[in-house]
A and B are shown apart, each in its own frame.
Chain A
């Protein structure tokens, strides 16, 4: 048991997965508690769904402490090895020819991590000041980070500006107005 626990602590993939399941566990437990305050009809599904989510995520978190027979029964093909292997969709690309080496950009930072952080920054900035100018910047930074030539960086940035402009003018989606513009009545932006 202690060995298993130590192993679970030293494994990065299990640690990452534990955070994911832990967040779901805390969230669903809080939602289960809050569901008691809704009316009878309104609380039925939230109660059922949150109890099931909290119970199952709790089991997942405690799987290292379950008897091996129960663990095998509940998680028979659990091979959380950090590989991208969740194939339950027709459109999922297969893994046979994937490169073993993860993609990296500048400073050897993992491509997926960089893209994730950049997307969060992009969405936050876009919400604050609007997406019209932030989008070309996002695309240019992405291209620059992954060492594409300067003309690709500029051309893709321009393409981003055109796409955003089309959304604003043709589809009439107000993505050019960020929260700052709305709050200041357009004075600051």
Chain B
């Protein structure tokens, strides 16, 4: 089937019942979770993931993708009204959104955010649909060595881009791979690290690991700080019309920010927490009055929001193509894809193209819903920022445990949720990359299968990874990523000594 044919069929699916209901529900729930500082869409997806097992896989992913998009927009509500971004993706929005709010223009700022998010997201998703046939051609040329190298490259990129020490990131990535090896081996048939306990025969499932690392860790963190989220009263006044015209009058800012968001989103490990600041910086650089940024410049809100929304589409590129998540939420989304039997790679763009395009169309429709929902509920948005976390924490913890148990109904999964929750708390506290660990756990089986196949093809020779041009490129890229910063530091030191 042609791309256009697949796209039309996908549109028919998304626009009919029940898919459209799941899109609306996903956007609404994601927006609510995103607007509550400290919660976010990843926790919601992680908890609902096991419950979606009864659902049709395609519909479940449509729902989760919509939640992801909604969460991205929701983060701006708290950023604008109480100067506390609901998510890091909306951090740059606070810089001008909150000053606008203080000037009595909160409605303008919320409208700017909703419309810029919607248009930015639409632009990005249209580009993603346009480039997907080229992406398919690239993916079709991939074999086992390339897929193994993608896993290695993805882990390297994430550990380097994620903040903190590279050695710590690699350690956690390797530890994640190690966790994934527990249980019956798919490649050799051996039962590994079962300690004679029957529960461990089937291994450690990645869903309870995700739930522990995202939901439980976040609850422990929230329980460590004061419960009342907002004591700051902010009047929700201003004009929706001015907000809409504010975006419409600045098409270049929206377009440029969308492209930045799309591009950065496609880099594993970067995500919206980076793109919103890059787009904000670019808007400031390009403005005639850069000093007005930080004091309520509308372009500041537009650029940050268009970029973070466009990042959603961008982050789907490595997730769907190579199984490399670009952020925490896409890591959970990748877990959802695998749980529902979708294997990232060329199949998603060939045999299952209609399903994949339905995710894209859901994002298109979701962006329109954000615009409508954003404008409709602006007056009530403030309530979301006043929820006390003490009422959320004791509910989320049992939900997370039940969700973990629901997958296989074994005691091991409850223990996994709690243990990884505790581990995640200390990892965050001491700056160890959670995404690197998640990536190791999720990619472990894929990496092992492809490593095994590659070595079978090459009769046990590791040279296979440098004999294929694409995998050779990835080997070079991995080496450059790992040793580049070290070489740069050495060079700078040498130059410093030289000039001295």
Contacts and interface: CB of A to CB of B under 8 A. Distances in A.
Contacts of A39: 188-190
B412 to A, nearest CB: 10
A123 B415 contact: yes
Contact of A73 (B83, B431, B486): B486
Q: How many B residues touch the partner, as a band?
A: 35 or more
B393 A142 contact: yes
Contacts of B434: 86, 88-89
Contacts of B308: 90
B161 to A, nearest CB: 8
Given A24-B171, A76-B165, A156-B394, A99 B226 contact: yes
Interface in A149-172: 152, 156, 159-160, 163-164, 167, 171
Contacts of A60: 167-168, 171
Nearest to A148: B390
Nearest to B445: A45
Given A20-B430, A79-B431, A179-B411, A88 B163 contact: yes
Contacts of B423: 20
B186 to A, nearest CB: 9
A101 B433 CA distance: 25
Interface in B417-439: 417-418, 421-423, 425-435
A40 interface: yes
B221 A112 contact: yes
A87 B429 CA distance: 10
Given A39-B190, A163-B395, A28 B409 contact: no
A159 to B, nearest CB: 7
Contacts of B269: 88
A72 B493 CA distance: 12
A125 to B, nearest CB: 11
B178 A49 contact: yes
B406 A171 contact: yes
Contacts of B452: 41, 44
A85 B162 CA distance: 12
A82 B393 contact: no
Q: Which of A46, A148, A164 has the most CB of B within 10 A?
A: A46
Given A24-B175, A44-B452, A163-B395, A94 B167 contact: no
A175 B214 CA distance: 22
Given A28-B175, A116-B422, A46 B181 contact: yes
Interface stretch (B2-10, B84-92, B357-365, B368-376): B84-92
Interface in A57-115: 57, 59-60, 72-80, 82-94, 96-99, 101-103, 110-112, 114-115
Given A45-B447, A93-B88, A139-B395, A40 B178 contact: no
A40 B164 contact: no
A112 B185 contact: no
B71 interface: yes
A77 B164 contact: yes
B84 A89 contact: no
A83 B452 CA distance: 41
B431 to A, nearest CB: 5
A73 B395 CA distance: 44
Nearest to A42: B188
Contacts of B177: 45, 48-49
A83 B161 CA distance: 20
Given A53-B175, A91-B329, A175-B405, A103 B227 contact: yes
Residue in A43, A45, A87, A123 with the greatest tally of chain B CB atoms within 10 Å: A45
A87 B161 CA distance: 11
A8 interface: no
Given A57-B171, A90-B329, A99 B390 contact: no
Interface in B71-89: 71-72, 83-89
B444 A89 contact: no
Nearest to A56: B171
B37 interface: yes
Nearest to B433: A88
Nearest to B36: A93
B256 to A, nearest CB: 20
Interface string A106-149: 00001110111001101100110001000100110011001010
Interface stretch (B17-25, B39-47, B465-473): B39-47
B430 A42 contact: no
Contacts of B216: 119
Contacts of B91: 94, 96
Nearest to A58: B171
Contacts of A90: 40, 42, 72, 87-89, 271-273, 308, 311, 327-329
Contacts of B391: 152, 156
A174 interface: yes
Contacts of B329: 89-91
Among A17, A85, A90: residue with most chain B CB under 10 A: A90
Interface of B: 34, 37-38, 40-43, 51, 71-72, 83-89, 91, 94, 158, 161-168, 170-171, 174-175, 177-178, 181, 185, 187-190, 192-193, 214, 216, 219-221, 223-227, 269, 271-273, 308, 311, 327-329, 390-391, 393-395, 397-399, 401-402, 405-406, 409, 411, 414-415, 417-418, 421-423, 425-435, 440, 444, 447-448, 451-452, 455, 485-486, 489
Top 9 nearest A-B pairs (CB, nearest first) are: A89-B328, A42-B188, A91-B40, A112-B224, A41-B188, A42-B190, A88-B162, A56-B171, A115-B223
Given A90-B89, A93-B88, A160-B394, 16 more contacts: A43-B188, A44-B452, A45-B181, A45-B444, A46-B181, A76-B489, A86-B427, A86-B428, A91-B43, A93-B85, A103-B225, A110-B224, A116-B422, A123-B417, A146-B390, A173-B406
29 contacts: A16-B426, A20-B423, A20-B426, A38-B185, A39-B188, A41-B185, A44-B451, A46-B181, A60-B168, A74-B166, A77-B163, A77-B165, A84-B221, A84-B428, A88-B269, A88-B435, A89-B271, A89-B327, A89-B434, A91-B40, A91-B71, A96-B84, A103-B227, A112-B221, A112-B224, A115-B223, A138-B397, A164-B398, A173-B406
